[in-house]
Amino acid sequence: MKIEILGTGCAKCKKLFENAQEAVKNLGTSADVVKVEDIQLIMNAGVMMTPAFAVDGKVKSVGKVLSVDEIKKIIS
């Protein structure tokens, strides 16, 4: 599984990235959590506001800092 955090690097983007890492760790699943900071790539994903959260190329949430529990629900 590939989890992408789309955002140009603000505090909320960082928090979402940390929450995603935590959720993956808690579940014990194997997933890559990566940041996408290139504005062109973010725009190509059709994302209107950041941070956005994507799993295997599908954007699941936009403009929200999902909690660890919310992320667990999405990826499990």
Partner 1 sequence: MAEECCSPSEILIFTCSGSSNVGQVANQAAVDLQQEGIGKMLCLAGIGGHVSGMIASAQSAKRLVGIDGCSVACTKKTMEHVGLSLTDYVLITALGYEKGPYSGTMDKKAVDKIKDEMKKQIVKPIKIEVK
Residues of this chain that interact with partner 1 (CB under 8 A) are: 6-8, 10, 12-13, 39, 42-43, 45-52, 54, 57-64
Using the minimum distance from each CB to partner 1, give the nearer residue, 13 or 33: 13
- 13, 20, 36, 71: the catalytic one is 13
- 1, 9, 10, 69: the catalytic one is 10
Q: Is 13 among the residues known to form the active site?
A: yes
Query: Long-range pairs for 43-50 at CB < 8 Å and ≥24 separation?
Result: 45/6, 47/6, 50/6, 50/7, 50/8, 50/10, 50/12, 50/13
> Is residue 20 within a helix (H) or strand (E), and if so which, with residue range?
helix 11-27
Q: Is 10 among the residues known to form the active site?
A: yes
Q: Which residues are catalytic?
A: 10, 13
